[in-house]
Amino acid sequence: MDWLKKRLVEPLLNLLRQGLAPRDLALCVALGVGVGLFPVLGVSTPALTVLALTLRLNLAAIQLVSYAIAPLQLALIIPFMRLGEIVLGSTPQPMTISAAMELLTEGVLFAIVTLWDAIIHATLGWLLIVPVLIFVSYKILVPILLRLSTTLRSEKP
């Protein structure tokens, strides 16, 4: 918990103290979590960079959240894939994270070609869950961060 507080919570609170709008920070966190969970490794960082620049959001905040949830991204790849298989009525593929990582040693292109069906299934599963997750996260975070911002401003000397 100390790591999480020191590496994620405090930097985000510092952004509020420095004047980042609470609604913008809420959107950074919600998008950082949602897009950070994208089940294809290496896609979320450039996608979030484009989103942050396009929407004029704080790039550091959005990437910080994404990096903090990277372990969760790995943990959810298989569940997202299974959800996609269920929706499409596909036969479950025998897949583990360690097997997928082993394929990467043969090269990224080889892994993509070999795992194409799994990538499609996982992406579909992600698409079914994450838009709701982003929306709900944002709606929950806005009032919390608005209140927190007011508290932090009143603490200034």
DSSP assignment of 15-29: HHHTT--HHHHHHHH
- pLDDT tens-digit profile of 71-123? 999 999 999 999 999 999 998 887 777 887 787 788 878 887 878 888 999 99
Residue closest to 37 by CA, chosen among 149, 108, 137: 137
Residue type, 110: F
Token pair belonging to 35: 């897009």
Residue with the two structure tokens 């709008």: 21
What pLDDT, in 10s, does the model give residues 44-81?
999 999 999 999 999 999 999 999 999 999 999 999 99
